[in-house]
Amino acid sequence: MIQSKRQGSWQEFLIQQEWAGQTLEMLFKEIWGAPKKLTHLFRMEKRVLVNHILANWNEPLNKGDRVSVNFFGDLEDKVEPSYMDVDVLYEDDHIIVVNKPADLDTHPNEPEQTNTLLNGVAYHLQVTGQVTWVRHIHRLDRDTTGAILFAKHPLVAAILDKMLEQRQIKRTYIALVQGMIKSKKGTIHAPIGRDRHHATRRRVSPTGQDAITHYQLIEAFRTKDMSLVKCWLETGRTHQIRVHFSHLGHPLLGDTLYGGNATVNRQALHAAKLEFTHPLTKEAISCTAPVQDHPVIFPDFDFTKI
């Protein structure tokens, strides 16, 4: 893990042995995986210092050097803060992971909408004295709960976007599905496209986008004719888990859009765990999101089994 600390608009990194010998060019492009356009911007705007003087981007760094990067200067507030208590699972100077409740949009779907989790995170940043530039890296459906990752500045957002695309951010879900899942584990590989007969529904379609869901049976409840499964995604299609399990003949409890019964008040889907390598410090991050439904939807469950 790389040591770093915030100093106003700047973030200072103490160069350890694993980064010694690398140039700033290599640090941004190869170690951090920063986009060329943003790397060029930091270089041209002189937003990087080494040992408090203007950096030479092609000079090797030495162990003990202090690299200061202006991540936070001149950031405009892009999201209107709205009062909300957010359940923070992890936070540092660059990223924040929060536990999303049900009945809440991840982000505004219309310009005037402000009652979303994104607005709530902006409020959290505001009241804790931070720059309120924030952007979601992925999303959850309105009635899906659990861990969501947000970025606090454009560079880390761009790196995380690339990590998500390259499947370097692992998202593990738990779901209650109808019926008895026969296989202890399996993979659903079925393309997903829009349902032309319904504005919001998706369906398995030969002409849809490639979609892969892996799953593992946690426990079967025969008396209630339902199964608790954990699943993780290789792709991130809209409603992917809901569509795939409905396609298998095991729709999620409460998911009436895809054939589930209405025995619970929402689709029984929860983003229980988020795992990734920190894009800048390279620390291993693992966040577990407890279920918070009232009344309870999921049975008592030991999250260490995920």
| Catalytic annotation present for 210 | no
Residue 232: strand pairing partners: 172, 214
Cα–Cα distances in Å, from 106 out to 24, 45, 73, 100, 144?
35, 33, 26, 8, 10
Distance (Å, whole) CA 172 – CA 150: 17
Q: Single out the catalytic residue among 141, 143, 210, 255.
A: 141
What are the two backbone dihedrals, phi and then psi, of residue 90, each rounded to the nearest 5 degrees? -160, 145
Which residues are within 8 A (CB) of 204 and not within 5 positions of it... i.e. 6 or more apart? Answer: 190, 191, 192, 193, 243, 244, 247
Distance (Å, whole) CA 226 – CA 204: 23
Residue 258: strand pairing partners: none
Cite the active site residues.
141
